[in-house]
Amino acid sequence: MHYFGFCFALLFSMSSGHDGYRILIELGAAIVLLAILARLASRWSISAIPLYLILGLCFGNGGLAPLNLSRDFTETGAEIGVLLLLFMLGLECTGEELRENLQKGVPAGCVDFVLNFTPGLLAGLLLGWATLPAALLGGVTYISSSGIIAKILSDLKRLNNPETPGILSILILEDLAMAVYLPLVGVLLVGGGRARIIVSVSVAVLVVLIVLIIAVRFGPRISKTLSHESDEIVLLTVFGVVMIVAGLAERFHVSSAIGAFLVGIAATGSMAEQAGRLLAPLRDLFAAIFFFFFGLEVDPHSLPAALPAAFALAVVTALTKVITGYWTARRLGVDRKGRLRSGFSLVPRGEFSIVIAGLGVVVEPRLGPLSAAYVLILAVLGPLLARIDG
């Protein structure tokens, strides 16, 4: 009786004041719908990412049936999804491989920046925007979505493909570029002077270098210290370390995704295998929430006016990403099919593009809807193109 009384009291407290029971039911129903879409995607042999995005679009603000979900929970869950995707991606790459990929990938990173930043910058200037919002649009078109691409590589079982190291080097260099770009943009938006710009960028770069050195040089020793035969202990330890490192990276205006990726690089040996096995279910759950939440954030009513420019920009920058990936894989000696797979895999834009657009709406309101439409087009198109096997 005491148990049933406790349950009744709990339900009553949840239903009073904050409609807690309704939030739980809506969240549970949304996750069940995600599961149904994942089943359909598996049956049709396609990526579930576009279906997750469209579902979010239907149930977000201005959608067919807006849900009263807890924004804090879904936003935090979405961020955890990205971190786990990048952590698991890092597990597939050793510190030595990372060093080699970065050394070989600098020319490809430069080509990537020129080919994909320039269209956004020029489009902003042609639309009559000032230089700063145009540069922000350049950032939106430049950076691929690490979260979506990590999911694509995992879903299509391409983590060990010959073109994958080139893809990873591009993603790493883009995320490292964000370590400079985001602090710079942040200072310019608030009108900071030259001294403040130098300090912000220097701190961000220093933090990245420190974490990178620790991951590459001391990764095996750290893994040996933290390893344990208990799955529970390893799960809690690794998950906690990923969150802490990602949070510290964010605190110094560095991509939290880079922090999570470098933790994955640092994990080696049996601990890496154990962590990958234990965290894979959590990754899948929170990754689905990330793509769903991304769709929730887009207001469908803001899209029609921005669609023509967004579509034109999507076509141009999808092509420039394919060229980037093709050229990068060619330099690594990958065959023609692998080069095309590399190019198609880099097409999606996502989390960073939305972050950049969110920073810039204060100086150019049209940046938000245009970026949302652009990202949504490529976030849906990218996984579909990635299925083309050369």
> In a 3-state reduction of DSSP, which class is residue 379?
helix
Q: Which residues, in sequence order, are CB contacts of 37 under 8 Å at separation 6+?
A: 48, 51, 52, 55
Higher pLDDT, 163 or 388: 163
Q: What is the pLDDT of residue 20?
A: 63
Of 82, 63, 83, 79, the residue nearest 71 (C-alpha): 79
Residue 49 has pLDDT above 70, yes or no: yes
CB atoms within 10 A of CB 40: 12
Residue 287 has pLDDT above 90, yes or no: no
| Cβ proximity of 137 and 124 under 8 Å | yes
Residue 289 has pLDDT above 70, yes or no: yes
Cα separations in angstroms, 54 against 37, 289, 298, 299, 386: 10, 13, 10, 12, 18
Q: Residue 204 sits in which domain range? A: 77-386
| Cβ proximity of 284 and 233 under 8 Å | no
| Cβ proximity of 276 and 91 under 8 Å | yes
Number of compact structural domains in the chain: 1
Does any domain span residue 69? no
User: CA 172, 178, 179 angle in degrees (round to 5)?
Assistant: 95
Give me the residue label for tokens 């995704």: 257
Q: Report, as an integer, the average pLDDT of 248-256.
A: 74
Q: What is the Cα–Cα distance from 88 to 274, expressed in whole angstroms? A: 12
Residue 83 has pLDDT above 60, yes or no: yes
Of 146, 166, 145, the residue nearest 97 (C-alpha): 166
CB atoms within 10 A of CB 223: 18
| Cβ proximity of 305 and 257 under 8 Å | no
CB atoms within 10 A of CB 50: 21
Higher pLDDT, 201 or 316: 316
DSSP labels for 115-178?
Answer: HHHHHHHHHHHHTT--HHHHHHHHHHHH---HHHHHHHHHHTT-TTSTTHHHHHHHHHHHHHHH
Residues 199-246 have pLDDT tens digits of 777 777 777 777 777 777 777 888 888 788 888 898 898 899 889 988
Q: What is the pLDDT of residue 389?
A: 72
Angle between helices 164-189 and 303-331 (to 10 degrees): 130
Residue 283 has pLDDT above 90, yes or no: no
C-alpha neighbours within 13 Å on the C-beta side of residue 185:
27
Does any domain span residue 62? no
Residue 138 has pLDDT above 90, yes or no: yes
Does any domain span residue 348? yes
Higher pLDDT, 28 or 16: 28
C-alpha neighbours within 13 Å on the C-beta side of residue 326:
12
Does any domain span residue 147? yes
Q: What is the Cα–Cα distance from 237 to 197, expressed in whole angstroms? A: 36
Does any domain span residue 72? no
Higher pLDDT, 304 or 360: 304
Q: What is the pLDDT of residue 101?
A: 66
Higher pLDDT, 311 or 58: 311
**Of the ranges 8-12, 163-167, 362-366, which is most confident?**
163-167
Residue 144 has pLDDT above 70, yes or no: yes
Does any domain span residue 349? yes
Find the DSSP H helices in the chain: 2-15, 20-44, 49-59, 71-91, 95-126, 131-142, 146-155, 164-189, 194-226, 231-251, 256-266, 269-296, 303-331, 336-345, 351-360, 367-386
Q: Say which CATH number the domain at 160 has.
A: 1.20.1530.20
Taking all residues of the chain, what is their mean pLDDT, rounded to a whole number? 80
Of 386, 319, 388, 382, the residue nearest 53 (C-alpha): 382
Give me the residue label for tokens 């009108």: 191
Does any domain span residue 57? no
Residues 290-304 have pLDDT tens digits of 778 777 777 777 788
Residue 149 has pLDDT above 70, yes or no: yes
Does any domain span residue 368? yes
Residue 179 has pLDDT above 50, yes or no: yes
